[in-house]
Amino acid sequence: MSGIGDCEKCEELLQGFLDRELTAAEHELAELHLNGCDYCRRRYTFEASLRRYVRLTAAERMPPGLMAKLVQLRGTDAQPSS
């Protein structure tokens, strides 16, 4: 892949490449282009970094003691009722 049309094709494949949803042929095509195109490689790096950031910031931390309370409540829910 080289040239503007190839960058457009790489753009079409980028999200699938990141999600590992491409066919083997599409993956190879995107990978070859990313290895040879600085612009698309920077775009890939940005998208991959953005995904990591979203994953890290989207995970909310539990307040202290909440996990123990949930375990305790789950334990009482597991008890058969009379």
Q: Where in the chain are the domains?
A: 4-77
Overall pTM surpassing 0.85 (yes/no): no
Query: Residue 71 has which token pair?
Result: 């375990």
Residue 14 has pLDDT above 90, yes or no: yes
**Confidence at 41, pLDDT banded by 50, 70, 90:** very high
